[in-house]
Amino acid sequence: MTTKQLTYAAELARTQNFNRAAENLFISQPTLTYQIRLLEDEIGFEIFARSGKGATLTPAGEQFIVTIRNVLTELNKAIENGQNFSSKYKGNINICMPVRSALYYLPQIIMEFAKVYPDISVTPYFIYSGYLERFFAGEMDVTFSLEHQMKRIHDVKKHHLFDSGIYLICKKNDMLSRKRIIRESDLSGRTLMVGNTSPPELKAVQQRLIAGGNISYFNSPDHNTTLTNVASERGICLSPGFLNDHTGEFVWIPFDCQEKMPCALYTHKSESRKFVLDFVKMVQDKYKDDPLDV
């Protein structure tokens, strides 16, 4: 099995026509037919059902092609990254986080870091679900995390960044948007979006408000869905400040409470490369010198 055969199969699945796929691949139709047959013989099942009208995916072929497309995507990324490193960089820092806004200053920091380490690349990965698993698996050098998520992890090193507060999110035409700070009494009669993925500090505030009996609530599975619900005027929500993307689409107003969510960067305990540790220190210094409303 070759990557060329997998590429041929993916293109044929897209066009469902041998002649058209061959033209797009700049090969002859007999060559494409031969390579697809070789691939099917090797894997032991038919990917395509042939007919006079073309080629359609078999049930087994549908499952196969879904995986193959993912494999080819990752392979192309690996090739592109390899080409970048072979021509310019001697090292790389992989950093992961759930959303881009978690490290609002990251673009500026990368630019400053490049002045000190022009031959070291910084590659950010934004993975909403499962980003910590990528870090624990050793695929990432640095990760952003709420500190409560890493309390029982012993083979990591914490680099504290900031304590994120809790903010109310509402539309610009909401009467609450005129306030500089939101108190519990301001939410009387309103509908609050809540979710199971909320950090424990935020959950505590949500539960306290709901227990007060003056507001109703609506379950929302994730932050993007919550923002959509707020935009469609189904309710309002409370959110960690670090999720603020500062686009101005919504109004973010500090909520009057004592709860804070400590946020940090984490490296592996065995990490000793100077350029990685210098990068982390640069992030810490940026948030110390230019504190953001988080």
CA distance 134 to 242: 21
Cβ atoms of 77 and 25 within 8 Å: the answer is: no
Contacts of 283 (CB under 8 A, 6+ apart): 103, 105, 106, 109, 159, 161, 265
The yes-or-no verdict on residue 164 having pLDDT over 90 is yes
Q: How many residues does the chain have?
A: 294
Per-residue model confidence (pLDDT) at position 86: 62
Q: Which residue has the higher pLDDT, 75 or 170?
A: 170
Tens-place pLDDT, residues 182-216: 999 999 999 999 987 889 999 999 999 999 888 99
3.30.110.30, 3.40.50.2300, 1.10.10.10, 1.10.150.120: CATH of 3-84 = 1.10.10.10
Per-residue model confidence (pLDDT) at position 282: 97
Percent of the chain with pLDDT over 90: 80
Which CATH fold would you assign to the domain 89-163+262-289?
A: D-Maltodextrin-Binding Protein; domain 2 (3.40.190)
The gap from C-alpha 219 to its chain's centroid, in whole angstroms, comes to 22
Per-residue model confidence (pLDDT) at position 159: 97
Tens-place pLDDT, residues 36-50: 999 999 999 999 999
Q: Which of 4, 73, 72, 63 is nearest to 38 (CA)?
A: 4
Question: According to CATH, what is the number of the domain 166-254?
Answer: 3.40.190.10
The yes-or-no verdict on residue 87 having pLDDT over 70 is no
Cβ atoms of 124 and 106 within 8 Å: the answer is: yes
Span 95-103, mean pLDDT?
94
CA distance 80 to 89: 13
Q: Give the pLDDT band of residue 82 (cuts 50, 70, 90).
A: confident
In this structure, what is the dihedral angle of CA atoms 146, 147, 153, 158, given to the nearest 10 degrees?
110
- What is the amino acid identity at position 58? T
The CA R_g of the chain, rounded to the nearest whole Å, is 25
Q: Where in the chain is the domain with CATH 1.10.10.10?
A: 3-84
CA distance 252 to 216: 20
Q: Which of 158, 162, 161 is nearest to 268 (CA)?
A: 158
Span 68-75, mean pLDDT?
89
CA 185, 186, 191 angle in degrees (round to 5)?
105
191, burial (CB in 10 Å: exposed 0-12, middle 13-18, buried 19+)? middle
Q: Where in the chain is the domain with CATH 3.40.190.10?
A: 89-163+262-289, 166-254
Per-residue model confidence (pLDDT) at position 248: 92
